[in-house]
Amino acid sequence: MPDPLLSVRDLRTSFITGAGAARVVDGVSFDIAPGEVLALVGESGSGKTAAASSILRLLPRAGRIEGGEAFYGGRDILAMGPRELRRIRGKEIAMMLQDPNAALDPVISVGEQVAEAARAHGGMSRRRAKALAVELLESVGIPLPRERAKAYPHQLSGGMKQRVLLAVALAAGPRLLIADEPTTALDATIEAQVIALLRSIRARTGMAILLITHDLGVVAELADRVAVMYAGRIVEEAPVGDLFDDPLHPYTRALFESIPRVHVPGESLRAIPGDVPDPAAYPRGCRFHPRCSFAIPECQDRDPRLVPAGTGRGCACIRVGEGAIPPWRAVS
Amino acid sequence: MTEPPLVEARGLVKHFPLGRSVLRAVDGVSFTIARGETLCLVGESGSGKSTLGRMILRLLEPTAGDAFFEGEPIFALSGRRLRDLRRHMTMIFQDPLGSLSPRWLVEDIVSEGLINFGPRRRSARRALVEEALERVGLDPRLHLRRYPNELSGGQRQRVGIARALVLEPRFIVCDEPVSSLDVSIQAQILNLLAKLKREEGHSYLFISHDLSVVRHLGDRVAVLYLGRIAEIGPASSVYASPHHPYTKALLESVPASHPSERGRAPHLGGEIPSPVDPPSGCRFHTRCPFAMERCRIEEPPPVEVGPGHQSWCFLPPPEGKVTP
């Protein structure tokens, strides 16, 4: 494996709430190789968005990074001074936020917003930045880019705004794009377009992507490798084909079994009982044990660590280590 | 069919004035729902699916067209007969408690409808509330005296369902009831709805943008595009042999279920046109890969493409598929 582009080690992030500190990311480590698409998958409250925002230190005010490292080009982003951090943000690592309405300025034309992002890093003239903005808008599939550059965000549809956000993120030619739920708010036919666009931009630029999503369908479409998060930790990590062929962790399996599928009608879904745990009060031992159908009394006491489980794979479950989980039969 | 349908929509139209222009949310939709049947409305934004759901419950008055509940004209009712109707038809929302006062207890939320339609005595109302909570898998002892913010998303949706069930309705409109839930919780709620449907025999109009969810619950499916039905039929038939190019495109846009299938489906280009200025002729012609000259001019009539399965498209029906 080539040297990783980004290497996150033992990341710990807390949110301060009225009830005290909640450790939303609790010892997360992963690598992303140049050009690789790593999907961080989890439900709400799993810590996936907090982990991704910690990398560029873009946490909301209540968030605090408690420890860990994020190495980029041999330097720890989490320990950088503000000037050095500014050089990384946008130019090396760009972030595409979930909600385009929050991320785009409503009173500036979208072309200017893309041009501004290009100028902030490239040190180019206004005219050159303007031309580049039109090129970027065209490259993300916006029809009539010269005219659309003059439009304001409210004049564009959700899918178009998502494309503008992508153009802003691509403006400085980053080597890593952090994309937080890039298609979640979109209609089905538009989601398919944006997935195809991300795939083609990645192929063209060789940019790596950290994809944050709750949707295993989007993972199947885009990811090379997958890390599954539950309650602030990575519980399983695998190349995408292996994960879909043979999920190991009981939580990953339960996730696969709980999705209704378009060509499999009517059967009862295997819902996961109970609820996603509150980060302020994680269960003892394995955090999934209260909802796990393979749990034994020991799971309440032993806190499983992510250990190697086959080539390029890791899994955090003592029952998998014991060989107590039966082979996976794909439900299709 | 000898028995009249439980619910019937006939040429429903809803236009919203927008300054000088008009938003054509629903533009001539007809369907029937039999007793115990679930009809799913599937469509993207601007398809008019939520507006249709609200009209059927008479939460909105139509611009034109009619709707019937057990043969009674919904929009002509008033006074006591309208009250009676309201008791038999109800709705489950995407976030049922989002619009309610956070200071209401679960008991008050679920029993609200009983104040109008239920028994006078408080103890009798409480018994009905407890029973409704049990039917949706909540323990009344634990949840009756809770506030919405003390519940998880899944529990809140269960309370929303209990609130709909407490009046023993015959017909329930569900508007995106699982789309704000995590997948593990979504499965719990879908299983609960399927169980209630099986055991209690309600009829549902189930509104969703998610074809996989619809496949899971629907007996019949209506695919909406820009205020009109593009295709309607038994779910098994529509999913196995879709006829309308829009239905095909929607099915193809569902993300792969395995990475080996990624990027296989051709995706549909273009944007969803605005319902303020919908395309002429067939409303899908601007995005349709098979569009012909006449599609821009004429509105396609419904064609029988299978038993009980109709498509509003000029493309020929599949050979040998049409029953005599």
With CA atoms as reference, report the closest residue to A58 among A84, A35, A34, A86. A86
Which pLDDT belongs to residue A323? Answer: 86
For chain B positions 14-53, those within 8 Å of chain A (CB to CB) are 44-45
Determine, for residues B188 and A273 on separate chains, whether the beta-carbon distance falls below 8 Å. yes
Between CA A156 and CA B287 the distance in angstroms is 18
A116 min Cα distance to partner chain B (Å)? 27
The enclosing domain of A44 has a CATH number of 3.40.50.300
Which residues of chain B does A276 touch, with a Cβ-Cβ cutoff of 8 Å? 152, 182, 184-185
What's the rounded mean pLDDT across residues B297-304? Answer: 95
Between CA B22 and CA B44 the distance in angstroms is 20
Between CA B252 and CA B256 the distance in angstroms is 9
Report if residue A298 sits inside a domain.
Answer: yes
The shares of helix, strand and coil residues in chain B, as percent rounded to the nearest 5, are: 35, 25, 40
* Mean pLDDT, chain B, whole residue set: 90
Give A228's pLDDT tier (boundaries 50, 70, 90). Answer: very high
> Strand, coil or helix: what is A281?
coil
pLDDT 10s digits, B4-53: 899 999 999 999 998 889 999 999 999 999 999 999 999 998 899 999 99
What are the tokens at B160? 């929303």
Element (H, E) at B224: strand B220-225
Residue B286, number of CB atoms within 10 A of its CB: 18
pLDDT 10s digits, A49-87: 999 999 999 998 999 999 999 999 999 999 999 999 999
DSSP state of A264: B
pLDDT 10s digits, A144-178: 999 999 999 999 888 889 899 999 999 989 999 99
Between CA A179 and CA A177 the distance in angstroms is 6
Q: pLDDT above 90 covers what percent of chain B?
A: 64
Residue A245, number of CB atoms within 10 A of its CB: 14
Tokens 């000037």 sit at which residue? A83
**Residue A332 above 50 pLDDT?**
no
Determine, for residues B152 and A275 on separate chains, whether the beta-carbon distance falls below 8 Å. yes
Report if residue A216 sits inside a domain.
Answer: yes
Determine, for residues A244 and B263 on separate chains, whether the beta-carbon distance falls below 8 Å. no
What is the interface size between A and B, counted as CB pairs within 8 Å? 140
Element (H, E) at B24: strand B21-33
DSSP state of B16: E
Residue B295, φ and ψ in degrees, nearest 5: -65, -25
> Strand, coil or helix: what is A207?
coil
**Residue A183 above 70 pLDDT?**
yes
Report if residue A115 sits inside a domain.
Answer: no
For chain A positions 196-215, those within 8 Å of chain B (CB to CB) are 196, 199, 214-215
Report if residue A145 sits inside a domain.
Answer: no
**Residue B322 above 50 pLDDT?**
no
Determine, for residues B259 and A240 on separate chains, whether the beta-carbon distance falls below 8 Å. yes
Flag whether residue A1 sits within 8 Å of chain B, measured between CB atoms.
Answer: no
Between CA A164 and CA A29 the distance in angstroms is 31
Report if residue A315 sits inside a domain.
Answer: yes
Task: Spell out the residues 6+ positions from residue A33 whose beta carbon is closer than 8 angstroms to its own.
Answer: A1, A2, A3, A4, A5, A208
Give B264's pLDDT tier (boundaries 50, 70, 90). Answer: confident
Tokens 């023993």 sit at which residue? B168
What are the tokens at B216? 């899971």
> Strand, coil or helix: what is B291?
coil
Cβ atoms B175, B93 nearer than 8 A: yes
Is 0.80 surpassed by the pTM of this model? yes
What's the rounded mean pLDDT across residues A190-206? Answer: 92
Residue A281, φ and ψ in degrees, nearest 5: -150, 70
Residue A225, φ and ψ in degrees, nearest 5: -135, 155
**Residue B324 above 50 pLDDT?**
no
pLDDT 10s digits, B159-197: 999 999 999 999 999 999 888 888 888 888 898 998 888
Between CA B95 and CA B68 the distance in angstroms is 28
Question: Domain residues for A306?
Answer: 1-92+206-332
Give B148's pLDDT tier (boundaries 50, 70, 90). Answer: confident
Cβ atoms A240, A220 nearer than 8 A: yes
Which pLDDT belongs to residue A267? Answer: 63
Report if residue A195 sits inside a domain.
Answer: no
How many structural domains does chain A have? 1
Cβ atoms A276, B184 nearer than 8 A: yes
Report if residue A30 sits inside a domain.
Answer: yes
Q: pLDDT above 70 covers what percent of chain B?
A: 96
Determine, for residues B254 and A260 on separate chains, whether the beta-carbon distance falls below 8 Å. no
Give B100's pLDDT tier (boundaries 50, 70, 90). Answer: low
* CA-to-CA dists, residue B121 to A253, B88, B111, B115, B117, angstroms: 49, 21, 12, 10, 12
With CA atoms as reference, report the closest residue to B160 among B104, B100, B201, B110. B110
Element (H, E) at B248: helix B245-252
Which pLDDT belongs to residue A1? Answer: 58
Report if residue A122 sits inside a domain.
Answer: no
